[in-house]
Structure formats: structure tokens, C-alpha cells
């Protein structure tokens, strides 16, 4: 949890996992649940017989298990995420726990969670993206007999415009406290003054007293530097009224602070202890960063330095793993984004997991934390609008209360493409209400929203209710908006939205709506009516340097929304099955399996300075000998020279030699765009190889070549990490390539590959990045797509070796091992 209780020896809890006992205050409650995927009358009762229910550990997403089926909505991934699911857990509390405050904390449950303890209804939480906690002390038995917690989830069809997942997909904690303790998400740490010489640290802490007597306590904060040294201590005496709470407000100074920024993401920690009558009754750990943020019509500033958002939008799923949270899955995703040149993430369109934000803190990624995709006016039949009036205030305040200590977060977003943009009477009022909630909880950060109906939200006084206006897909309107609304800072909150399939190239290059293959060419010009190539956004950002940057749609492919196939965005009550089996997005710069597409390198060439060069397409065009093939090069070098079978096709100069792109999108008249961001040649095809050499200051410094491959001959395996943690949740990602006898990728290979493993781990997911496949994600086989596929291994809690073997008929098999420690 973002601010977590330290493991302190205060209470013995005996959990019904064999004879396992542990001393703890926060007990991870993920192990040994029982699950049933259907209605179960009476399952909330403690005496209900769940002996035949499935046993599993959390986090769990039942929908990702499939199967894919046309009867489900392809808009939401074509998977069975709706219906009823029950979870039950048996556990024992010893008598020593009596008189303590025992709570159950869910980091996320999808969705409309209802909770019972020993048959007593505890409460519910509709929104699946926000955590919640209930005090269950009075409902427990402390005599060594069985306690039962039951959770019912009822996700609805047409509840979101993408794949939401289903189940208790984030972690659960059993929290045991003394009557006086730090409240859930109870610290709020800010840095009102930051210089190179000193930083003022302000800590507002909420202390709860669940006893029937007033309590006098001492609240102490000790601060630790990134390398673990104690750098400051402050304390105060406080009297907390009975059955109430009180805020402690303390500040201190840290000398010569190590600032948090995108290059050096330094993290401090604050250890808060509460002492009563000389006895420590609670200890609470908060992690934070020392940094300043500022914004104006001149741009966004981090620690006084102007920073442009090289940002991506990311959905919460991790492809074949579904919505279930694995720290390594998010780490891999974010590391890949960093290597693309990304410095900012927009959590579209909901609050992310705790692990995700912790990783952004650690990696130095700026975050826009987004609350909602819908307010009162529905986009789909069973959306959040059904809960908005009752829950919006609680949900957005809890999001900020949970997340506000993260230095990575630099903006709160109150909504995305909200349909109230056209409501002249009430839209601005709702925006103001949500903005006020944000400011009440955290006045230190700006608010924002993603607006896609320019100029309506500006003319209707809605954009003016937030600090920074986000413009979706209106790059050619930046200068007009700046002129008409000179006091309103702006940025591209969603940009480009071009689509592509990894390794797929359709010739000739033409602007089409859809293709019979259900794939999209990777020449990166195809998209829905609002979409445009990245080059156009690059151009207008450069033309308007005070625009704060962009968040391109999207960094990774995600489950659901298979645009341009299946249906129309934002159509209420619509199923997107017209182009089945298209069932996941094509928007990503990286495909669903985590393999970079060509567009990844286009952004890398624009957003990074370390010399790089990329070449496309593949060079297997049998039957097209002598015909011209468009060859593109993405590079941040000054020049590039193309060779075909050793013969030079000439040098091209970046920024001078332009590539003509066919475009056709809303609110943009020209049908062609001359891009300075791509170098290109048209060369007659002949089998062999193509090579491109990059030059800086006239010196060759980078090169890459692509060979015409022979027929598939063998399987090649590589793994992202050869050693992982034996913690029962760490992951290893194995890339499977189909190669010819010389080790060249076979770009058109679709061979079926069978997998087997041996040792202390399990095969939990497979994928290949094909957005139009109904092969299961949980299987021991996968067809290659564009010559590649993926297997994901999970560690057990035993040290040892996981041995992985891949075989395919007619190909030489391959093996690889992963150590777990």
C-alpha cells in the first residue's frame, strides 16, 4: 500500500493456512481463497458449504481465463468479464486480537463489491478501480474458531468501453491496529519550500482513536534519505478524542535535499510512530519525493526546469495476464516506455494500482492520475454514471488521499471526453464540483481533463474550471486555442491514435478504413476518423512550443476497443462484433505481447538523443521481384544511407529530405503531409538484404540490416531476466522467435509452438500480439504471429530452476532456464 504499516511484533494472528502463524500488523491476505463463478444462494453465510469451490490465490481476474466468444462484446475484449463471482476465505483470529481494530482492505475489486464477515453485511463499493477498507472487529470470533469473509462481485456487460477485468484483481490486506493508530492513507506529505540548500517538509497526519476514552499520545516523524540515513526528526504531543480522529500537523527542514526528478528519482521515507504512555502503539511508513512543480501558459516546470510531456496513455490491463496486478508486468511495461523516450504516463481512464505508481516513483515517470471516463451522461448502458451521484465525491477524494504522497503524480484528471462538454447549463458546474474536491484534498497539484469537443468545453465555461486544459486530437487547433484563451495552459491529452499490427505491411501504401486481413499496416498512417500519424503531432507541438507536450494514444495495445474494426466509439448499448475475432486494440506503439511495433522507434527517434536507427519493412516479398518497395528509416542521426545487397540507394538528410504521408482526418484539410521525421526510399525488390547506416557529423555511428529469410528451421528463445524472485508472484517473459537456419527472423511465420515446463514455477500466460486471434491466453501452445510469440512464467515460493522447452513440428526445438531465488 502506498503508505504501509511496518511489520511490528505486536500481535499473533493464526491464519488457517495449515498451522501458519505470523507476527504482523498488515497481513497480506492474498493466499488460499475459494472462488465460484456463478450465483450461489447463501454464499454470504459463514455456514455455507464451499468445499467444492476452486482454490486460488489473489490477485485474480476470472475473465482472462476465457474463452473468447462472439457472444461477448469485442469492445470489451470478447471475454466473459460480466456475471457473478464469489470469493470466500476462512481464517482464525486468536484471543490476543480481541480489543484491537481489525480491518479488511481491498486495493481493488471489479466491480460492485459486496462484503460479508461471518454472515454480517459489512458494506459495498461499486467502482472497481479504487481501494476501500472496512473495520470488521465486532464481527470476528476470537476464540480460535473459523471466521469467513465472503465477497460478491457483479460486473455488468456494457459497463466500460474497454476490457475491465473481473474479480479481486488487486491485493487484499488484513490490518490489525491498536485503538489509536494512523488512519488508512493517513499521511499527507508536501514540500512547500525546496531549494538546493534546504527543503521544508510538511506532514499532516490523521490519527484515529477507536476507544471510548480520550487518548494522549506522542506523534513522531523520522525522515530518511534515499540511502537510508536519518536526516530529521520532529514530534508533538496530541490528545485524540474518544471515537474520533485528529490531525497532527508538523514540519521540519532537511538540509541539502536530493531532489526527485525524471533523471534522478530520489525517494525519501518518513517513519511515523505513535507512542502512548511510553509504549509504541503504531508505526507507519510513507515514501515521498522532494521536488517542485509549476505550470503556466509558458509550459510545465519540474524543479524550475521546463519539461515537455513525452507521454503515453496506458490502460490498466497487462495483455494475456488481464487486469490481475503483477508488479513485474507493470515494471516491464514502464521500462519499455522509458526506453522509447517516454517521461510521462496518463492513467487512462481510471486510478491505477499501488504498484504502478510506486514504479513510476522509482523510474522517474511523471503521472497524470485520472479519476473517471464518465460523469452523469452515459457512454455505455451500465457505466459509472449509475453510481456518479452517490459515489463520485468519495471516489475522487479517496483516489487523491491514497495517491497524493507519490512524487510522480503532477496532475489530477477529473475526467476523459466527458459528454457534459455539450451541456451549456450544467457541464461546468459538475467540472467545478470535482475540481473543488481535488483542491480540498490536495491544493499542491493542478487539475485537468481531456476535452475532445473543441471548442464546446471552452465556450461553455467547462475547460476554465480546471487548471490545465487537455486537448484530444486537435493539433491544428493549438494556436487558435492559445489565441482565444490566452490564460489557459494546454497540452495534448490524447494524440495521434494511429493504428498498426506488428510486422504487417500492406502494399501499396494507401489510406483505407479496414483490411480484409483484420490487421493494419505498420507503415503507420491508418486510424479512425479523428486519428493522424505521429508526425503531425510532432509538427504542431514544435509550432507551439508553449503547449506542454502530449500523451499519445497508446503506449501499449490493450484488451477491447479493436478500432478500426467492430464498431463506433462512444456508441451507447453497442456491441463491437461485426469484425470478429478482432477483440483488442491496434493503437499501441507496443503490441499486446510487449513486442515493439515500428511506431515505437518513430517516437524513440523523436524523443531520445542516444543514437538509434530503425528500418522497415521486412525483406520477404517473394513474387514481387522488381517491384518498388517503400523502405522507411526512423533515426535521430543527421543522415542515413540505404544499401540493397551492398549497393547504395543514396543518403537522405533528416529534416531536409521529406516523406510524403497520406492523411485524412477530422478538421484537417490537406490530404498529404510532408514529414521531416521519416526518411524513405522506393527500391526495387530483390532477395538478399537491406542495410541502413546512420551518420552524425559525417561519421557512421549506427547501422541495422534486414535479411530475406529462408524457410522456418528452428525456434530461438530469449528471456527478459534469467533470475527472478522466489516469491510466488515474480515473472519471467520468454520471447519465442521462428528463424531460418541462419538465425534470421521468418517475418511471415505462423507456426504452432508447444510449450512445456519443469521445476519450481508455472506457465501462466501465452500471447503473440495478434489482435484478431481467439487462441486462449492460458494454454501450453501458441501460434507465432509475424514470426514471434510469448510465454510468461511465474515463480513459486521455492528456490530452484524453471526449465522451459518450446517445440514445433518440423522445427529444431529450444530450451531455456530461469533461476528463482
Q: Distance (Å, rounded) from C-alpha 165 to C-alpha 70?
A: 17
> In which element (H, E) is residue 356 found?
helix 354-363
537 is a catalytic site residue: no
What is the number of alpha carbons within 13 Å of residue 181 lying toward its C-beta?
A: 25
The helix (H) or strand (E) run that includes residue 255 is: strand 244-255
Please state, in angstroms and as integers, the Cα–Cα distance from residue 284 to each residue in 230, 255, 498, 653, following that order.
16, 23, 46, 57
Query: Starting at the edge strand that comes first in sequence, how are the strands of the sheet with 731-739 ordered?
Result: 714-719, 731-739, 788-795, 761-767
Q: In what order do the strands lie in the sheet with 293-296?
A: 293-296, 299-302, 305-306
Between the CA atoms of 299, 302, 308 and 313, what dihedral angle is there, to the nearest 10 degrees?
Answer: -110
**Angstrom distance (rounded) from CA 232 to CA 222:** 6
Instruction: Of 161, 10, 194, 181, give the one whose Cα is nearest residue 76.
Output: 161
Q: Is residue 504 within 8 Å of residue 519, measured between CB atoms? A: yes
For residue 786, CA distances in Å to 29, 76, 373, 514 come to 41, 25, 34, 19
Clarify whether 669 is annotated catalytic.
no
How far apart (Å, rounded) are the C-alpha atoms in residues 767 and 769?
A: 6
Catalytic member of 133, 370, 417, 537: 417
Contacts of 699 (CB under 8 A, 6+ apart): none
How many CB atoms lie under 10 A from the CB of residue 303?
A: 16
- The vertex-599 CA angle with 706 and 578, nearest 5°, equals 110
| Strands annotated E in 107-214 | 113-117, 120-125, 132-135, 146-153, 172-177, 180-194, 198-209
Q: What cell does 565 get?
A: 474494426
DSSP per-residue letters across 456-487 = HHHHTTSGGGSSEEEEES-GGGHHHHHHH-TT
Take residue 507 and report the three cell numbers written for it.
Answer: 502494399
Record the cell numbers describing residue 118, joined without a space.
Answer: 461471518
Q: What distance in Å separates the CA atoms of residue 342 and residue 85, rounded to the nearest whole number?
A: 38
Check 44, 494, 639, 739 and give the catalytic one: 494
Write the CB contacts of 227 (distance below 8 Å, at least 6 apart in sequence): none
Per-residue three-class SS string for 303-316: CCEECCEEEEEECC
What whole-number distance in Å separates Cα of residue 6 and Cα of residue 13? 16
DSSP 385: G
Question: Which of the residues are catalytic?
Answer: 417, 494
Amino acid at each position: 500500500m502506498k503508505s504501509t504499516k511496518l511489520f511490528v511484533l505486536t500481535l499473533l494472528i493464526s491464519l488457517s493456512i495449515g498451522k501458519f502463524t505470523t507476527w504482523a500488523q498488515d497481513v497480506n491476505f492474498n493466499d488460499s481463497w475459494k472462488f465460484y463463478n456463478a450465483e450461489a444462494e447463501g454464499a454470504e453465510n459463514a455456514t455455507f458449504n464451499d468445499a467444492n469451490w476452486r482454490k486460488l490465490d489473489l490477485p485474480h481476474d476470472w475473465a482472462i481465463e476465457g474463452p473468447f466468444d462472439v457472444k461477448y462484446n469485442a469492445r470489451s475484449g470478447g471475454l466473459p468479464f460480466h456475471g457473478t463471482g464469489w470469493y470466500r476465505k476462512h481464517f482464525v483470529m486468536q484471543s490476543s486480537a480481541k480489543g484491537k481494530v481489525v480491518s479488511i482492505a481491498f486495493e481493488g475489486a471489479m466491480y460492485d463489491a459486496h462484503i460479508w464477515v461471518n454472515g454480517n453485511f459489512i458494506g459495498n463499493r461499486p467502482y472497481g478501480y479504487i481501494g476501500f477498507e472496512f473495520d470488521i472487529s465486532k464481527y470476528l470470533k476470537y476464540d480460535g474458531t473459523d471466521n469467513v469473509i465472503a465477497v460478491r462481485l457483479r460486473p455488468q456487460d456494457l459497463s466500460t468501453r474497454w476490457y475491465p477485468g473481473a474479480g479481486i484483481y488487486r491485493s487484499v490486506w488484513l490490518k490489525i491496529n491498536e485503538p489509536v493508530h494512523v488512519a488508512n492513507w493517513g499521511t499527507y506529505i508536501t514540500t512547500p519550500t525546496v531549494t538546493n540548500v534546504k527543503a521544508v517538509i510538511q506532514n499532516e497526519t490523521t490519527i484515529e482513536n477507536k476507544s471510548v476514552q480520550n487518548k494522549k499520545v506522542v506523534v513522531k516523524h523520522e525522515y530518511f534519505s534515499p540511502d537510508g540515513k536519518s536526516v530529521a526528526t520532529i514530534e508533538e504531543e496530541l490528545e485524540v478524542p474518544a471515537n474520533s480522529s485528529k490531525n497532527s500537523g508538523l514540519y521540519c527542514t532537511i538540509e541539502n535535499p536530493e531532489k526527485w526528478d525524471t533523471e534522478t528519482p530520489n525517494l525519501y521515507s518518513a517513519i511515523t510512530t505513535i507512542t502512548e504512555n511510553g509504549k509504541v502503539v503504531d508505526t507507519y511508513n510513507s515514501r515521498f519525493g522532494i521536488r517542485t512543480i509549476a505550470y503556466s501558459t509558458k509550459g510545465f516546470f519540474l524543479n524550475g526546469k521546463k519539461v515537455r510531456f513525452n507521454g503515453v496513455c496506458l490502460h490498466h490491463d497487462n495483455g494475456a495476464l488481464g487486469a490481475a496486478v503483477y508488479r513485474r508486468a507493470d515494471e516491464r511495461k514502464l521500462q519499455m516506455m522509458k526506453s522509447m523516450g517516454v517521461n510521462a504516463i496518463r492513467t487512462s481512464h481510471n486510478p491505477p494500482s499501488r504498484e504502478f505508481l510506486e514504479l513510476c516513483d522509482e523510474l522517474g515517470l511523471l503521472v497524470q492520475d485520472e479519476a473517471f471516463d464518465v460523469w452523469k451522461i452515459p457512454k455505455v448502458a451500465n457505466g459509472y454514471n449509475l453510481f456518479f451521484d452517490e459515489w463520485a465525491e468519495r471516489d475522487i477524494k479517496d483516489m487523491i488521499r491514497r495517491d497524493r504522497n507519490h512524487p510522480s503524480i503532477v496532475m489530477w484528471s477529473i475526467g476523459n471526453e466527458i459528454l457534459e462538454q455539450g451541456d451549456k447549463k450544467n457541464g461546468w458546474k459538475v467540472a467545478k464540483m470535482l475540481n473543488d474536491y481535488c483542491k480540498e484534498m490536495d491544493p499542491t497539484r493542478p487539475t485537468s481533463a481531456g476535452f475532445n469537443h473543441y471548442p464546446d468545453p471552452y465556450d461553455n465555461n467547462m475547460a476554465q474550471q480546471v487548471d490545465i486544459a487537455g486537448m484530444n486530437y486537435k493539433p491544428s487547433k493549438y494556436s487558435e486555442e492559445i489565441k482565444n484563451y490566452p490564460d489557459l495552459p494546454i497540452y495534448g491529452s490524447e494524440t495521434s491514435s494511429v493504428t498498426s499490427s506488428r510486422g504487417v505491411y500492406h502494399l501499396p501504401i494507401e489510406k483505407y478504413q479496414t483490411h480484409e486481413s483484420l490487421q493494419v499496416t505498420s507503415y503507420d498512417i491508418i486510424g479512425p476518423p479523428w486519428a493522424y500519424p505521429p508526425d503531425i503531432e510532432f509538427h504542431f507541438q514544435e509550432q507551439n512550443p508553449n503547449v506542454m507536450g502530449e500523451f499519445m494514444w497508446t503506449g501499449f495495445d490493450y484488451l477491447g476497443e479493436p478500432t478500426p474494426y467492430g464498431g463506433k466509439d462512444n456508441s451507447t448499448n453497442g456491441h463491437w462484433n461485426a469484425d470478429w475475432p478482432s477483440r483488442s486494440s491496434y493503437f499501441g506503439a507496443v503490441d499486446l505481447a510487449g513486442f515493439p511495433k515500428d511506431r515505437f522507434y518513430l517516437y524513440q527517434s523523436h524523443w531520445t538523443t542516444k543514437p538509434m536507427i530503425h528500418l522497415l519493412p521486412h525483406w520477404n516479398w517473394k513474387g514481387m521481384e522488381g517491384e518498388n518497395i517503400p523502405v522507411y528509416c526512423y533515426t535521430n542521426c543527421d543522415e542515413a544511407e540505404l544499401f540493397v545487397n551492398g549497393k547504395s540507394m543514396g543518403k537522405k538528410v533528416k529534416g531536409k529530405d521529406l516523406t510524403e504521408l497520406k492523411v485524412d482526418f477530422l478538421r484537417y484539410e490537406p490530404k498529404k503531409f510532408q514529414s521531416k521525421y521519416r526518411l524513405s526510399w522506393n527500391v526495387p525488390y530483390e532477395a538478399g538484404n537491406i542495410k541502413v547506416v546512420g551518420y552524425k557529423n559525417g561519421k557512421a555511428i549506427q547501422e541495422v540490416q534486414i535479411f530475406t529469410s529462408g524457410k522456418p528451421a528452428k525456434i530461438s528463445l530469449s528471456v527478459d531476466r534469467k533470475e527472478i524472485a522466489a516469491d510466488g508472484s515474480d515473472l519471467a517473459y520468454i520471447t519465442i522467435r521462428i528463424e531460418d537456419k541462419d538465425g534470421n527472423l521468418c517475418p511471415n511465420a505462423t507456426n504452432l509452438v508447444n510449450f512445456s515446463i519443469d521445476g519450481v514455477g508455472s506457465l501462466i500466460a501465452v500471447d503473440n500480439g495478434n489482435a484478431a486471434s481467439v487462441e486462449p491466453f492460458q494454454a501450453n501452445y501458441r501460434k507465432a504471429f509475424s514470426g514471434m510469440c510469448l510465454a510468461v512464467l511465474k515463480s513459486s515460493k521455492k528456490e530452484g530452476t524453471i526449465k522451459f522447452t518450446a517445440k514445433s513440428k518440423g522445427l529444431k526445438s529450444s530450451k531455456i532456464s530461469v533461476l528463482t531465488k
